[in-house]
């Protein structure tokens, strides 16, 4: 909840919405003295898996006594969780101090037509960079907000860059096909940084490979330069040219998280090599187990069984369905879904409808971008229902602790954020 004049001012910057481009953020950071260049950084882009990769990498490096800043988005629990050091969010007091420092600079930029309208995300990015400098972090791991090439985080001279996955998302802004989107993601590739890529299809990889070769960077590819080998007991083996670690386990549920953990391991090993650090296998094992990240196959309730998963685009929905088919084949499932209108909602619902054992409830939520139920009346069927009041729906669900069906609440991360607060009132 916004409680101060500083936070009110920050909230008002939402009116500038999404404005790709680096002119404003570069001008703001220059006025701050370019804090983002004062410490080593790791830059992570990709359609899905960015946040999980960031927290896996952070946990590994933190376990080796490093002070690690992380910048991720969007927030699920609270605005401050976007800016963390060793997993601890920036305090409200520290946030207000940073806003006080940055506000007059932004207002000065607003007077120039070339730099007016600095966005909320650009300001938050600058706050993170300055906060990490003020707190003397050993390194910062920075998640791209959208795309990469024109994202406000693309002002770094990183030690390592990573691209997790490439899929169709934010099509009106990033491009209508995989090569176009891959070009945006590949925009973070820098001569200063080795590049690690995740589970990316050949069409997008062609674009990334071409960019990497043009820039002249060392590249490490998923299942080629490093391998992630799942075992039947849920553990996995990681190996690259220098080491093999067997029997690893992830603290995050979801089969796709093994890929994110493997990518993070490769990033951590490369970072350590370049910074002349030694990583300990025992610390790595424990660090992977200790990772927590909300709304990623998160069991928010055991009785009744409720899982939150922010499958906010088609590729993420495909991975959710893979998990359902592997782990819950014989389970009756109720799926509560909502999304924002910029997403390919029809395709996501089409994927869910292919599951034979599910009841689908489509709902909406308090966000001007949320779907309009009237647009989906045609989908109403025996196994598809439209419910306007998701809060009443979830509250009724919680009154049935012995309910045999499991519930998966999915779709927009903004929707999941609202839902999570109902389960955990302290996060309101």
Q: For 328-381, what is each residue's pLDDT tens digit? A: 988 899 999 999 999 999 999 999 998 988 999 999 999 999 999 999 999 888
Q: Residue 23: inside a domain, yes or no?
A: yes
Instruction: Tell me how many domains the chain contains.
Output: 2
Residues 344 and 395 in one domain: yes
Domain boundary among 243, 271, 290: 290
User: Does residue 139 surpass a pLDDT of 90?
Assistant: yes
Q: What is the pLDDT of residue 426?
A: 55
User: Does residue 427 surpass a pLDDT of 80?
Assistant: no
Only one residue has tokens 């001012």, namely 9
DSSP-derived letter for residue 188 is G
Residues 70 and 156 in one domain: yes
Q: Residue 428: inside a domain, yes or no?
A: no
pLDDT grade, residue 117 (50/70/90)? very high
User: Does residue 2 surpass a pLDDT of 50?
Assistant: no
Contact (Cβ atoms closer than 8 angstroms) between residue 68 and residue 139: yes
- What DSSP string describes 326-373? HH-TT--EEEEEE-BTTS-HHHHHHHHHT-TTEEEEE---SSTTBPPG
Residues 375 and 250 in one domain: no
User: Does residue 191 surpass a pLDDT of 70?
Assistant: yes
Residues 191 and 68 in one domain: yes
* CATH code for position 310: 3.90.190.20
For the ranges 141-155, 257-271, 388-402, which has the lowest average pLDDT? Answer: 388-402
- What DSSP string describes 26-95? HHHHHHHT-GGGSS-EEEEE-SSSHHHHHHHHHHHHHTTT--EEEE-SS-SS-GGGGEEETTEEPPHHHH
Task: Tell me the pTM.
Answer: 0.95
Q: At what angle do helices 92-109 and 120-134 cross, to 10 degrees?
A: 120
Query: Distance of CA 422 to CAs 138, 337, 413, Å?
Result: 36, 16, 15
Residues 330 and 413 in one domain: yes
Residues 314 and 271 in one domain: no
Characterize 271-297 residue by residue with b for buried, 16 or more Cβ atoms within 10 angstroms of its Cβ, and e for exposed.
bbeeeeeebeeebbeebbeebebbbbb
Residues 256 and 321 in one domain: no
Residues 408 and 368 in one domain: yes
Q: Which long-range contacts (CB under 8 A, 24 or more apart) does 59-62 make?
A: 59/87, 59/287, 59/288, 59/290, 59/291, 60/264, 60/265, 60/268, 60/279, 60/283, 60/284, 60/287, 60/288, 61/139, 61/268, 61/271, 61/272, 62/86, 62/87, 62/287
Residues 334 and 283 in one domain: no
Determine the structural domain holding residue 417 and report its residue range. 298-423
Q: Residue 68: inside a domain, yes or no?
A: yes
Residues 303 and 260 in one domain: no
Q: What is the pLDDT of residue 1?
A: 44
* CATH code for position 225: 3.40.1190.10
Residues 43 and 130 in one domain: yes
Spatial separation of the C-alpha atoms in residues 409 and 297, rounded to whole Å: 10
Q: Could you give the 3-state DSSP secondary structure of residue 418?
A: helix
Q: Residue 316: inside a domain, yes or no?
A: yes
Q: What is the pLDDT of residue 170?
A: 87
Cβ contacts of 278 within 8 Å, gap of 6 or more: 272
Residues 302 and 262 in one domain: no
């Amino acid at each position: 909840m916004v409680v101060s004049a500083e936070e009110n001012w920050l909230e008002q910057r939402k009116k500038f919405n999404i404005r790709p481009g680096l002119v404003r953020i570069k001008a703001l950071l220059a006025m701050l003295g370019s804090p983002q260049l004062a410490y080593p950084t790791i830059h992570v882009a990709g359609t899905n898996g960015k946040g999980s990769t960031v927290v896996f990498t952070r946990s590994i490096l933190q376990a080796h006594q490093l002070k690690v800043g992380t910048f991720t988005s969007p927030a699920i629990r609270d605005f401050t969780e976007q800016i963390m050091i060793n997993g601890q969010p920036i305090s409200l007091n520290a946030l207000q101090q940073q806003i006080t420092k940055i506000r007059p600079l932004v207002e000065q930029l607003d007077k120039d037509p070339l730099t007016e309208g600095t966005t909320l995300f650009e300001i938050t990015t600058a706050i993170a960079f300055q906060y990490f400098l003020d707190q003397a972090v050993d390194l910062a791991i920075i998640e791209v907000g959208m795309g990469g090439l024109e994202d406000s985080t693309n002002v770094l001279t990183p030690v390592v860059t990573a691209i997790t996955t490439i899929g169709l998302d934010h099509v009106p802004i990033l491009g209508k096909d995989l090569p176009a989107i891959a070009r945006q993601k590949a925009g973070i590739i820098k001569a200063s940084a080795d590049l690690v890529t995740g589970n990316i299809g050949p069409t997008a990889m062609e674009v990334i490979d071409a960019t990497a070769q043009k820039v002249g960077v060392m590249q490490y590819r998923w299942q080629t330069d490093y391998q992630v080998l799942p075992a039947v007991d849920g553990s996995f083996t990681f190996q690259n040219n220098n080491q093999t670690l067997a029997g690893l386990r992830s603290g995050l549920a979801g089969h796709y998280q093994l890929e994110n953990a493997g990518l993070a391991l490769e990033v951590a090993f490369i970072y350590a090599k370049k910074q002349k650090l030694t990583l300990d296998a025992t610390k790595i094992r424990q660090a992977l187990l200790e990772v927590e990240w909300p709304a990623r196959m998160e069991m928010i309730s055991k009785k009744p069984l409720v899982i939150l998963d922010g499958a906010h685009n088609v590729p993420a929905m495909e991975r959710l369905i893979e998990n359902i088919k592997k782990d819950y084949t014989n389970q009756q499932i109720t799926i509560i879904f909502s999304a924002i209108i910029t997403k390919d909602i029809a395709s996501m619902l089409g994927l869910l409808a292919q599951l034979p054992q599910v009841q689908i409830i489509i709902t909406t939520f308090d966000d001007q971008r949320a779907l309009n139920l009237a647009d989906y009346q045609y989908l109403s069927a025996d196994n598809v229902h439209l419910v306007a009041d998701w809060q009443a729906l979830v509250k009724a669900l919680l009154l049935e602790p012995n309910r045999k069906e499991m519930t998966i609440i999915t779709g927009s991360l903004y929707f999941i954020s609202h839902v999570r607060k109902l389960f955990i009132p302290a996060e309101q």
